[in-house]
Chains A and B, each alone.
Chain A
């Protein structure tokens, strides 16, 4: 990205601090839109989920979806927000064909959630506010290679217009790309756990804009750039790192950072300025006269509080404590929707035939790869099958290596591991008598190697022992229990 040397980079890191604040837009997983009864659906045929309200036809009137209020209160609980007695909607006026009304209905100076926080790896990130607003339609720009400024015309689909969004605005409390990435991960896991959104960045149900500035340690905040078009956690981290370098280079050349909106270009790996506007934004917000204030009742607040599930932060601590897994493993479990629940059910089904740690190992490696490859949710897999596999390894019926193949087939074919093991004749030989006899045969047939082992130095000993072990395994067609076989071989060699 830059042509500076490592030492220059090191000195920079000493002097400069990155400051990041994030605006996260989350589509709420309601059945219908924010102000009308059109289905809130991703991927429908263009313009099939539209009605007079979301098309802004004259005479139509918006009515707020009650589930949206409940979802907002859940967000309020999860992130320790104050939910004021009353909040209202405003009109944000602008001309752009993605909103047929020529304004977006949004919350402005009286939002539903104020002053919350989220702990990320022991650091408290402040969340200024979370407010409700409607999503806009989707435009496709034609001609000019899909780029907006060169386009000859645009096509608009209003299925998404009016879909309920929450915009969650953090304080500029993050200091690195990694921290920003972790914040979004944690935010996402929490939103998923409380059931208000499916938080899929790839489908746009969670979108992130990043405000980035740099400063010398201890200085006032620098001028920030707002980065849009960040479509994955990886892009978010890359965009922040790129901005960090770009801004420092400008400042070190004696230039000033301009406050502007920039777009992340994933392919080129850089941010580019948006088209500069002749005038600053002037949205002429005013209170929406067609909607009355939201005033959550004490009953609704109590109901929401009582129905809150265990949050990922608490679940993480509990799994680390109860299962003896590390922070990283807990993080992997929790960052894939449904994986932690899958593992929890498997652990219960173990019934003493293995440890939670074994389950977590399989779940965060083989099961996770399978889930990533197929795009299936862990909720569709049978955790009892994983538990059976762990038991088969635990009691020595199959080796870990064999278990990998068995698990792959079990996941793919939805088959019980025991059935696969007996079909393939995989069961490991753990009978001490049978293994001992095989070792005796091998030693008798390879007297030369045994002699070389006896007279050799450590290096030769190691090599010859490895050879003999290999021969034993071969004699047992790979089905000997390795731990047992190792012990029997060592005993016999030592005995001479």
Chain B
């Protein structure tokens, strides 16, 4: 097994944390870099197998075309839904100022 941390850098860990909107302390970033490295090492053992003839699996169940008829069903009650939201205005969810671009 290779040295822990070799498969992922600290910079990659902070990048992924940012994408997931997680605020990490320096200590947390260090320990996560180590721990994720160990997980990736384990995953690497699977990569070592010869999978040349095995198709990639997107889904564990061998099923296709699970479909539903295009028929409407009742929706949720708006007041009930909005009562669960932290803030509401005009029948809409009120959210803080949106930073960044719409994707």
Could you list which residues of chain A lie within 8 angstroms of chain B, going by C-beta atoms?
Answer: 30-32, 37-39, 45-52, 55, 63-69, 86, 88, 92-98, 104, 139-141, 148, 151-158, 261, 274-275, 277, 279, 281-284, 287-289, 291-295, 297
Contacts and interface: CB of A to CB of B under 8 A. Distances in A.
Contacts of A98: 102
Nearest to A47: B78
Given A292-B59, A293-B58, A65 B97 contact: no
Contacts of B73: 32, 37-38, 51
Given A37-B72, A48-B78, A95 B21 contact: yes
6 contacts: A65-B67, A66-B67, A95-B21, A96-B103, A292-B59, A292-B66
Q: Which 7 A-B pairs have the closest CB atoms?
A: A37-B73, A287-B58, A155-B92, A67-B70, A66-B67, A295-B64, A63-B68
A158 B88 CA distance: 13
Given A148-B98, A154-B95, A293-B59, A38 B75 contact: yes
B50 interface: no
A37 B98 contact: no
Interface range on chain B (Cβ under 8 Å from partner): 35 or more
A227 B34 CA distance: 43
Contacts, number: 138
Interface in B58-96: 58-59, 61, 63-73, 75-76, 78, 81-82, 89-96
Contacts of B58: 88, 287-289, 293
Contacts of B90: 46, 155
B3 interface: no
Contact of B100 (A96, A155, A287, A292): A96
A49 B93 contact: no
A45 B91 contact: yes
A289 B96 CA distance: 31
B101 interface: yes
Contacts of B93: 47, 97, 155-158
B76 A52 contact: yes
A32 B98 contact: no
**Majority secondary structure of chain A interface residues (helix, strand, loop or mixed):** loop
A244 B100 CA distance: 27
B91 A153 contact: no
B43 interface: no
B61 A292 contact: yes
Given A32-B73, A51-B75, A86-B64, 8 more contacts: A47-B81, A68-B70, A93-B19, A153-B96, A154-B97, A155-B95, A284-B19, A292-B65
A156 B81 CA distance: 13
A297 B65 CA distance: 9
A283 B95 contact: no
A466 to B, nearest CB: 65
Contacts of B78: 45, 47-48, 50
Contacts of B68: 37, 63-66
A274 B99 CA distance: 12
A148 B97 CA distance: 8
Contacts of A95: 21
Given A47-B82, A51-B76, A69 B67 contact: yes
Contacts of B63: 292
A96 B95 CA distance: 10
A259 to B, nearest CB: 14
B102 A282 contact: no
A32 B65 contact: no
